[in-house]
Amino acid sequence: MIRRIGFPCVMSSLPLSTNHNFRLASLSSEKLASTVERNLEEMETILEWMSDHGMKLFRIGSSLVPFASHPAMEYDWPEMAASRLAKIGRRYSQRGFRFSLHPGQYNVLNSENPNVVKNTVAELLYSCQVLDLMGLDSSHKVVLHGGCRCGDMAQSKTRLIEEILKLPKNVRSRLVLENDERIFSAVDIVEVCESSGLPAVFDIYHNKFLPSPDLPGLLKRLQKTWQENDGRPKLHLSSQKPGGRDGAHGDMVLEEDLRELCETVPFDFDLMVEAKLKEKAILEVVKFAKDAQCILGQS
DNA sequence: GCCGGTCAAGGTCTT
DNA sequence: AAGACCTTGACCGGC
């Protein structure tokens, strides 16, 4: 059953985004402060809209604080954002909201280039710090893909596990890994998670392109990667863009994909819907889910 | 205003 | 070998 449901970063029907940014060349204290302020302002408006519409799962844009983890960042961004983040975190966690961030595909924790690993760790630290400043517990997660295929898959997984175990404890307590569509399948991710103590996010759409055998058995293992402090398991749902490249996210979600998800997953979960039309797609998903009787009240 | 080019970044896939 | 593409689109300069 679906419990919380939500969407990432921006709205589609209103000009609201937590991802406003600027060019690195125009990075300055003033530019940073005004952009962060704008992202936080619009985040509150989005959260208020979600609250009114029964959605309680939100992915904060990685550009909430543009260039926060970039080597060129020389400003005290936590100082600029702390009080407002704390206020937002307090208000919406009281209402049962759950938050996350999802560093982009340039973050490769198992890269063979040490500098890339270093930058990735910096981005993870920043992502965690946002959630820390909001005063949120470790059920509020930072989502990352497995990374690159460096050598064979066994090596890739070993490298990933080694890097995970080197992370600071507070980062490990928030980090979750998600299966992707070409390198780390769901079974790869579950194996890495079992070895490193992280929870695994299941993306059913990626799984179509890089499927794992024995999905029911795998989901049972996946559920067990979520410990008490991690909160409820999280899943991702999206549909193929009609006529688009394999793997491209569609504007909306197909009813059959929602039904398949609900029939496949035997436990309660929070659902992030990754559709281009964001909240518009979710309003329809909720309707489908009510018809299929696979959504419960959110808390 | 709007449109097209561009953007911080790594790796994979296609041509 | 070089370019397109992804992701969370959004900015920015030129018309």
**In this predicted model, what pLDDT tens digit does every residue of A225-248 receive, in sequence order?**
999 999 999 999 999 887 666 778
Predicted pLDDT at A162: 96
Cα(A140)–Cα(A93) distance, integer angstroms? 10
Q: For A126-162, what is each residue's pLDDT tens digit?
A: 999 999 999 999 999 999 999 999 889 999 999 999 9
Contact, A149 CB vs strand B, < 7 Å: yes
Rounded to an integer, the average pLDDT of A163-169 is 96
Residue nearest to nucleotide C9 (CA to C1'): A19
Contact assessment for residue A229 and residue A137, using Cβ atoms and an 8 Å cutoff: yes
How distant is the alpha carbon of residue A87 from its chain centre? 22
Q: Is the pTM of this model over 0.85?
A: yes
CA of A15 to C1' of C8 (A): 14
The model's confidence at residue A267, banded by pLDDT at 50, 70 and 90, is: very high
A20 Cβ nearer than 7 Å to chain C strand:
yes
A117 nearest nucleotide via C1' and CA: B10
| pLDDT of A88 over the 80 cut | yes
CA-nearest of A201, A279, A287, A207 to A240 is A207
Supply the pLDDT for residue A248.
Answer: 80
Q: CB of residue A245 closer than 7 A to nucleic acid strand B? A: no
Question: Which one is predicted more confidently, A244 or A47?
Answer: A47
SS3 A48: helix
Single-letter amino acid, residue A95:
R
Give every CB contact of residue A183 below 8 A, 6+ residues apart in sequence: A146, A147, A148, A149, A153, A156, A210
* A202 Cβ contacts chain B strand, under 7 Å: no
Q: Is the CB of A155 under 7 A from strand B?
A: no
The whole-number average pLDDT for the span A258-282 is 94
Q: Is A25's CB less than 7 Å from nucleic acid strand B? A: yes
Q: Please tell me whether residue A40 adopts helix, strand or coil conformation.
A: helix
Residue A54 has pLDDT above 80, yes or no: yes
Flag whether pLDDT at A298 surpasses 70.
Answer: no
Q: Is the CB of A21 under 7 A from strand B?
A: yes
Residue closest to sugar C1' of B11 by CA? A148
Q: How many CA atoms, within 13 angstroms, populate the side-chain half-sphere of residue A221?
A: 18
Q: Is the CB of A76 under 7 A from strand B?
A: no
Nucleotides of C under 7 A from a protein CB: 5-12
What Å value separates CA A116 and C1' C4?
A: 22
pLDDT > 70? residue A282: yes
Phi and psi at A28, nearest 5°, equal -150, 165
Protein-contacted bases of chain B (C-beta within 7 A): 7-13
% of chain A beyond a pLDDT of 90:
86
Question: Whole-angstrom Cα distance, residue A88 to residue A99?
Answer: 11
Enclosing H/E stretch for A203: strand A200-203
CA of A68: nearest nucleotide by C1' is: B8
Greatest alpha-carbon span in chain A: 54
Average pLDDT, stretch A71-77? 92
Q: Which of residues 248-277 of A touch strand B (CB under 7 A)?
A: none
Confidence of residue A1 (pLDDT cuts 50, 70, 90): very high
Q: Give the nucleotide at minimum CA-to-C1' distance from A67.
A: B8
Closest CA to the C1' of B6: that residue is: A23
pLDDT for the residue numbered A244? 67
**Å between CA of A246 and C1' of C5:** 12
pLDDT in tens, A104-123: 989 999 999 999 999 999 99
The b/e string for A239-269 (b: 16+ C-beta within 10 A; e otherwise) is: bbbeeeeebebbebbbbebbeebbeebeeeb
> Is residue A81's pLDDT more than 70?
yes
List helix spans (H) across chain A: 29-52, 77-94, 114-133, 153-166, 169-172, 186-196, 204-209, 215-224, 255-264, 278-291
Supply the Cα-derived Rg of chain A in whole angstroms. 18
| Cβ of A2 less than 7 A from strand B | no
